[in-house]
Amino acid sequence: MTFEDLNIIQPITRALKQKGYTQPTPIQQKAIPHLLAGSDVFGTAQTGTGKTAAFAVPILQKLYAAQADRKSAGIRALVLAPTRELAIQISESFSDYSNGLGLRHTVIYGGVSQNPQTAILRKGVDILIATPGRLIDLINQGFIHLHQVNFFILDEADRMLDMGFAPDIKRIIAKLPQHKQTGFFTATIPNEIKALADSLLNHPVKVNVAPISAPADAVEQSVYFVEKADKRAMLKEVFDLEEIETALVFTRTKHGADKVVRDLVKNGIPAVAIHGNKSQQARQKALQGFKDRSIRVLVATDIASRGIDVERISHVINYELPEVPETYVHRIGRTGRAGETGKAISFCAAEERGSLKDINKLLPRNIEVKLMSGFVASIPSEAEEVAPSNSRGGSQRTRQPRPATPQKRAFQRKRW
């Protein structure tokens, strides 16, 4: 199937081809026809499935077709996103797909001065991409009016609720016209999401692609059991052994992310951290450096697990396992995208074994356990039946590795 088969107009298909997109992904195949037909859509899809184009393309096509009948200026499409990074990337996608259509869009988010944003809004835009907090601020100040919105997209709705945006979302919805077309996209469907969708959508078409329990088959997953104190040395060893073009490394805390960056830079590996304590300017600079390959490694907390849309990330490394199992799938979904392959490598200390057990329950099969020469940790009983492969070749199926001596661990830390 091609985008022409979906009745996408020639200016948009040409823009898509310039980006290298010739065949629609499953979420695009399922969602675009219904959105073009005017139906509300409830889409379940994880990051990396092509979700942004699934709603951006029909919005652009319908707004373009309606330009001749337009009687007054005003925002006609609103896309709500949970994070600044995701909002910026959605805006970039609209720029890519709308070349030559004569439609205007902008993105607004907090953490930066509102003056440049309000200057653009005064000139008038057709499409607004926004985070909830800044949108409400500018509505209250009279810079934004939503009474002409025909299309409303709520992206990553579950992430919105996780971040505490439910009251803001309800206030925004109350400002929208009753008659509008809505696209509602989420990776998971807890009860709160069901209730929100029921209150917002009108006889929606349900589109379900890539459930949360099924990470991309293109991602090769492995886990190393390791002493917590040896993780720093193991991370360096992974970079020595693996052919890593670009890597996204996840930690649980902001402090941990900064610490990992210092260690990597000390060993000659260009890396930066991205988390909530960084200024918006610093975060955008880090993302841009990661995109243009001037920065090889991005170390992130989970604020970035669904907000980074960078092509050809070769590795995701879980320096620390997430406490929420679904977050693991979102993390590793940053690699192995758009037909590419990727690797997801996890480190598991003794106190993280409960998290690993919960993650394995979520997956179709357990993550492969591997051993690395020079690093030893007792393998828990749940994993003893898994034949761990040695990353330097060979396998060890029955012999438990001897515990490392304190002297050896001290040597490893000193070497790092």
| Domains with residue ranges and CATH for the chain | 4-208 (3.40.50.300), 219-415 (3.40.50.300)
3-state secondary structure the chain: CCCHHHCCCHHHHHHHHHCCCCCCCHHHHHHHHHHHCCCCEEEECCCCCCHHHHHHHHHHHHHHHCHHHCCCCCCCEEEECCCHHHHHHHHHHHHHHCCCCCCCEEEECCCCCCHHHHHHHHHCCCEEEECHHHHHHHHHCCCCCCCCCCEEEECCHHHHHHCCCHHHHHHHHHHCCCCCEEEEEECCCCHHHHHHHHHHCCCCEEEECCCCCCCCCCEEEEEEECCHHHHHHHHHHHHHHCCCCCEEEECCCHHHHHHHHHHHHHCCCCEEEECCCCCHHHHHHHHHHHHCCCCCEEEECHHHCCCCCCCCCCEEEECCCCCCHHHHHHHHCCCCCCCCCEEEEEEECHHHHHHHHHHHHHCCCCCEEEEECCECCCCCHHHCCCCCEECCCCECCCCCCCCCCHHHHHHHHHHC
pTM of the model: 0.63
From first to last of its 416 residues, the chain has per-residue pLDDT tens of: 899 999 999 999 999 999 888 899 999 999 999 999 999 999 988 766 789 999 999 999 999 998 866 667 799 999 999 988 889 999 999 999 999 899 999 999 998 999 999 999 999 999 999 999 999 999 999 999 999 999 999 999 988 887 788 899 999 999 999 999 999 998 878 788 889 999 999 999 999 875 544 556 778 999 999 999 999 999 999 999 998 999 999 998 889 999 999 999 998 898 999 886 777 678 778 888 888 888 999 998 876 555 577 778 999 999 999 887 878 888 888 888 766 788 999 999 999 999 999 999 888 889 999 988 888 776 665 544 344 444 443 333 333 344 444 444 443 433 34
